Structure 1
Amino acid sequence: MVPVLALLPAVIALLGAAIVIPWDKTLNTEPFPRNTTATENCGPIDDLQYSRRTVYFPSKGLQLEGWLYLPKGIEGRPPIVVLAHGIAGQKDMGLHPFAEVFAQRGMAALVFDYRNFGGSEGEPRNWVSPKRHLEDWDSALDYVRSTLGAEVDVRRIGLWGTSFAGGHVLVTAAKEGSNISAVISQVPHLSGIEASKKSLKNRGIPQSVRLFLAGLHDRARVLVGLPAAYLKVAGPPGSNSFMELPDEDMHLYLAKHPEHYMGGWQNRILARLANELSRYNPIHYVPEVKAPVLLVATTQDALCPIAVARRAAELNSNVQLLEKDVGHFDVYLGDLFEEVSVAQARFLVEKLGAIVPVHEPAEALPLL
């Protein structure tokens, strides 16, 4: 019988190989440095109805980049809506049209990128983490209150989040209490438990284990000082991507993206998120939210189940549920975007007490 100690070197060698070697062909360990080259869609805007300028503010020692929209044609300081994107999203991926609609109706808007995304500092790039994202939301609110008081009414703050950030705004609002005046939660991630169950059903046990092990591999590499390991954000079924999308959904997902990405974004995120998703359950915070909430959900959502959104609406009388019979990505584009964004603007105007300028809102600019 071989002594256990004699096997130890072989075991250590195997573990070391598992850490160093990307054993799964879907893992990507190539360097992913930040690209600071300006893109054509990141500059200032001086429109007849609003202005937009780039601003910077700190979060945990790094600088976050945001776009500050200020409405024209109103007296006094407007209320402000703070916006951010979902999983692996950044502000140049379809958030400008929403902020524009709000600015056209007398509200200021701050759209920001999380650390490690877009125009914000931080490496490794494309690090999605609920904890880090929530810290960045706190930093954005600190910036609004500490710096923007001369331009906006910091007593009237709204939060707007979509997909992953649809959960972040509910968690943030619950912590902020009466300091937040209104919340928009669009196609929100509400339950990591339910999302994991759905993923397990769609992928099967072997593929689900594969995804989880990829996350452990990424974490192990970091512990020994090796570059991070990435998986695709979105890909076809069976691709071991975080979002496994059929062709139609993939088309809609990419349709809101710009031709050139801020920060050099790529279709990949740190694999370690696979070990965090099931533990992030914003629905647990819904009963604590004091602000009025407009929750926009879609009945054909393959990523964020409609049943969870309905359950969330039942947990708090402040939550108003708006359902649309479409999929997760339909709300960003075309006629449905027009319908949903106007409904959101009306809700925010009412809850924030915004004064709508006398001019009629201009036709929305092309998606950036």
Structure 2
Amino acid sequence: PRGPRAGQLPDTRAAIAAARRLDGVDPDRVVLWGVSLSGGHVLTIAAHDSGIAAVVALTPLVDGLAAGLLAARHTPAASLLRSTATGVRSKVGSRIGRGANMIPLVGEPGDIAALNLDGHREGYLAIAGPTWRNEVDATIVLELGTYRPGRHAASIRCPVLVQIADFDRSAPPHSAAQAAFRARAEVRHYPCDHFDVWPGKDWFEPAVTHQIFFLTRHLADSSTPKPDTPEVSGDPVSPLPPH
């Protein structure tokens, strides 16, 4: 995959435009859903697209610099230096026509990879499809340091749900909370790490339950009864007042 500015954001906008042209799709009821890095992308896009009906950002990465500082607390310095050096070589190589240097997206602790904390590789492989390739342009290691989608959150005008893993070692929870405040979002907290809201993990079902409740409450037509607040064991936060 390409980095967020070079390809991921334009690709997402193109997908939204294509979805709006599909038969049977109401172009005014498009919802954006993103997790981790794409959880930041959906905030950026919604801030500049007034036609988005709602946004769900699950454990969003909204401040690349804060994420890098957080990673430095859990990752050996040598591993960070090797990943940074690979990113520099990739950036230089692309500029002189040699092409990008690819690194694994996920790896074991100590590996050169974009994500290499314990549990990262297993978390991704648990949901990876048959065509998924464990690689990413190493330039992303450099680009993330200046990527701050959270700064756009105040411009969002549609309902937003931000779901935060309080012990997240990959997407800083404090940064996500700040972005949620700017977006006037509904917030849900889970006492877990980044990947513990993924399929097969303990907090997946509560996270999905809250997403369905949020979307039903905001997108159901006037003839549909509004849902009751879901009873989820261990949920420490009630929904904030709607927009």
Equivalent runs, 1:305-320 vs 2, <5 Å: 305-317=172-184, 319-320=185-186
Q: Which of 5, 12, 15 pairs up with 1:140?
A: 15
For residues 12 and 133 of structure 2, the distance between their equivalents in structure 1, rounded to whole angstroms, comes to 23
1:296 counterpart = 2:163 = yes
Aligned twin of 2:91: 219
SS in 2 for 1:244: coil
How far 1:204 sits from its partner (Å)?
Answer: 5.2
SS in 1 for 2:214: helix
Equivalent runs, 1:144-159 vs 2, <5 Å: 144-145=19-20, 147-148=21-22, 150-159=23-32
What TM-score do the two structures reach when normalised by structure 2? 0.83
Which amino acid in the other structure matches residue 144 of structure 1?
A: A
Equivalent runs, 1:202-351 vs 2, <5 Å: 202-203=74-75, 205-246=77-118, 248-258=119-129, 260-261=130-131, 265-317=132-184, 319-334=185-200, 336-351=203-218
* Greater strand fraction, Structure 1 or Structure 2: 1
Aligned twin of 1:190: 62
Which amino acid in the other structure matches residue 67 of structure 2?
A: A
Q: Is the 8 A contact 2:87 2:140 kept in 1?
A: yes
Equivalent runs, 1:32-47 vs 2, <5 Å: none
Q: Deviations over 1:187-224 (max 9, x none)?
A: 10110110121223333555433322211211222334
May I ask how many residue pairs the two structures share in their alignment?
A: 222
What TM-score do the two structures reach when normalised by structure 1? 0.56
Overall identity of the aligned pairs, in %: 28
Distance 1:205 1:245, change over 3 A: closer
Distance 1:249 1:275, change over 3 A: closer
Which amino acid in the other structure matches residue 180 of structure 1?
A: I
Q: Give the unaligned 5+ runs of structure 1.
A: 1-125, 357-368
Q: Is the 8 A contact 1:159 1:183 kept in 2?
A: yes
Equivalent runs, 1:49-60 vs 2, <5 Å: none
How far 1:170 sits from its partner (Å)?
Answer: 0.3
Q: Deviations over 1:48-103 (max 9, x none)?
A: xxxxxxxxxxxxxxxxxxxxxxxxxxxxxxxxxxxxxxxxxxxxxxxxxxxxxxxx
Which amino acid in the other structure matches residue 323 of structure 1?
A: H
Distance 1:313 1:241, change over 3 A: same
* Greater helix fraction, Structure 1 or Structure 2: 2
Which amino acid in the other structure matches residue 10 of structure 2?
A: E
SS in 1 for 2:203: helix
How far 1:236 sits from its partner (Å)?
Answer: 1.8
For residues 175 and 95 of structure 2, the distance between their equivalents in structure 1, rounded to whole angstroms, comes to 36
Q: Is the 8 A contact 2:60 2:171 kept in 1?
A: yes
How far 1:227 sits from its partner (Å)?
Answer: 4.2
Q: Is the 8 A contact 2:64 2:145 kept in 1?
A: yes
Distance 1:171 1:332, change over 3 A: same
Equivalent runs, 1:60-79 vs 2, <5 Å: none
How far 1:252 sits from its partner (Å)?
Answer: 2.5
Q: Give the unaligned 5+ runs of structure 2.
A: 225-243
How far 1:257 sits from its partner (Å)?
Answer: 1.7
RMSD between aligned residues: 2.0
